[in-house]
Structure 1
Amino acid sequence: MAPKLPVVGREVWQDNLEQEFLIINDALLLYPLIAIDTEFPGTFYSQFPAFPGGHHSQFLPVGRCQIMKANVAATKIVQLGLSLCDAKGNLPNLGSGCCCFGEVNFRDFDVKRYLHNLDSIDLLEIPRK
Structure 2
Amino acid sequence: MRYSKQRELVLQKVEQLCDHPTAEEIYDEAIKECPGLSLGTVYRNLNSLVDAGRVRRVCIPGKADRFDHTLCWHSHMYCTVCGGVVDADVDEKQVMKLVKNQKGAVQDCAVVLFGVCEECLKKQAAQ
TM-score tier, shorter chain, comes to under 0.3
Q: Which has the higher helix share?
A: 2
Instruction: Select the structure of larger CA radius of gyration.
Output: 1
TM-score, normalized by length of structure 1?
Answer: 0.24
Structure number with higher relative contact order (C-alpha < 8 Å, ≥ 6 residues apart): 1
Q: Which has the higher strand share?
A: 1
TM-score, normalized by length of structure 2?
Answer: 0.24
